[in-house]
Amino acid sequence: MTQVPRMPRVRPLSIRLRLTLLFTAVLAGTLLVFGIALHTLLARTLIANGDRLTSGRAQVIARESIRVEADGSLIVSLRPPPRDPGRSFIFIQVFDLRTRQIAGRSANLDEESLPITPRMLAAAQRGESVFETVRVNDLRLRVFSIPVIATGTPVALVQVGRSLAFDAQLLDPLRWLLLALAAVGLPVAAGLGWLLAGRALAPIRVITETAGEIGRARDFSRRVAHGGPPDELGHLAGAINVMLDDLERAHRDLEQALAAQRRFVASASHELRTPLTTIRLNAEMLQARETDPGSERATMLADIAGEADRLNRLVNNLLVLARADAGWRPHLYPTALRPIVEDAFRQAQVLADEHALDLAAPQDVNVAGDPDLLKQLILILLDNAFKYTPTGGRITLSLAASNGGVALSVADSGPGIAPEDIPRIFDRFYRADLARQVDGSGLGLSIAKWIVEQHNARIDVASTLGRGSTFTVRFPPAERA
């Protein structure tokens, strides 16, 4: 089996180092371009000025210092002009094209002579002047050659050479100056860049450290401190703090939801235990005393059936709430409410032999709803009204259009609800003290509230102690829902 070699882990360069390198590289590039441009410009200017000087001098010599005799021989009288500043850099030579001899030269050439190249000769034959850079001993010279024409033929070549050492005297120090500037400036700039980048990035380090500590300690109440101006880093710190706000809220909601869930499970288990215990005890007694008189057996069996029934209701209610918690949502569609109200009314009449039950539903109204849930809602309210209203009381179920929407209400003449209980009766498992003697689990109204919310409706309670309570559900107009 071949082994794949492990790649060595490369640690990425820090932003600080990258910024410094980039900054220094840009500065070095700028210095280089600037240096080359300055050097080239200066060198060209020096050459152009020198060329003007040498060509001017050569023309004057060709015009004034050379005479052609009748026999064609040349008379050359070279006189260096007084106080010539470029004297030691300017060399002059006259070349006789017929005899191929040097006819005269400036004193500073001593025994040396300026070279005559084929290019110069060819240009002279055409009657043209030419510049050429040549080397004499260690000296680089830029030589201007111009022909002297007599009766249409080039007879002599006047050459004026200028030493380029003069240019080098200016250009060499410039080169050194630029190099020194780079050698000192670049390390200084790199150091400064390193310091500035460090200072600019310091808040990021603070933000990173704080975020790390918040994560480790799970302390979402902490915030990232940023004392600087509202620049990009200020915005970053602000954005992280906004995110921490959201995180803190989400964490708190989650903890509350978890606590509610734990309470729900604990209460549900407690509620389930009571009927289960009754069922188990009765069954055990029935098993132990097989010879019991029939009437006692019948009571025990009735208890078992009753508790099983209660258990069934409880489990059904728990199931509805569990489905609601799991995110199940009903599908709403236009629903005529009066048939549902009448159906629930008929079903409730069975319970109504000890109470007076009235129905007031003068007209049909439509809501966007789920018929099964709507019926369950009405039955929960009616069931409570019957449960809590003493014998002989009156219960009224009414349905009416109101303010463009629909109002459905269940009113009773029962004991009423204490004002301090009203905000809590829709909580799961909450039961007011007054209700303790009546059978119940405290889940009915929480299911009613969930159904109301699913229909984008509202439920209100109006109650007076000793006089009765009215639960009103207000549905929005069908088209708005």
Residues near ligand ADP (CB under 6 A):
384-385, 388, 412, 414-415, 417, 425, 430-432, 435, 440-446, 469
What lies within 8 Å, CB to CB, of 184 at 6+ separation is: none
96 versus 307: smaller Cβ distance to ligand ADP: 307
56 versus 423: smaller Cβ distance to ligand ADP: 423
124 versus 381: smaller Cβ distance to ligand ADP: 381
51 versus 427: smaller Cβ distance to ligand ADP: 427
Residue 398: strand, helix, or coil: strand
What lies within 8 Å, CB to CB, of 19 at 6+ separation is: 193, 197
CB of 399 to ligand ADP, least distance (A): 18
CB of 354 to ligand ADP, least distance (A): 15
What is the rounded distance in angstroms from the CA atom of residue 76 to the CA atom of residue 65? 6
CB of 348 to ligand ADP, least distance (A): 13
What lies within 8 Å, CB to CB, of 230 at 6+ separation is: 238
What lies within 8 Å, CB to CB, of 399 at 6+ separation is: 337, 338, 341, 360, 361, 365, 406, 407, 408
Query: Which residues are registered as beta bridge partners of 356?
Result: 394
CB of 268 to ligand ADP, least distance (A): 13
42 versus 432: smaller Cβ distance to ligand ADP: 432
What is the rounded distance in angstroms from the CA atom of residue 182 to the CA atom of residue 99? 56
234 versus 440: smaller Cβ distance to ligand ADP: 440
CB of 441 to ligand ADP, least distance (A): 5
CB of 380 to ligand ADP, least distance (A): 6
Neighbours of 160 (CB within 10 A): 26
300 versus 445: smaller Cβ distance to ligand ADP: 445
CB of 364 to ligand ADP, least distance (A): 26
Residue 468, phi-psi category: left (phi > 0), alpha (psi -120 to 50), beta (remainder): left
What is the rounded distance in angstroms from the CA atom of residue 136 to the CA atom of residue 154? 25
DSSP letters, 24-48, are HHHHHHHHHHHHHHHHHHHHHHHHH
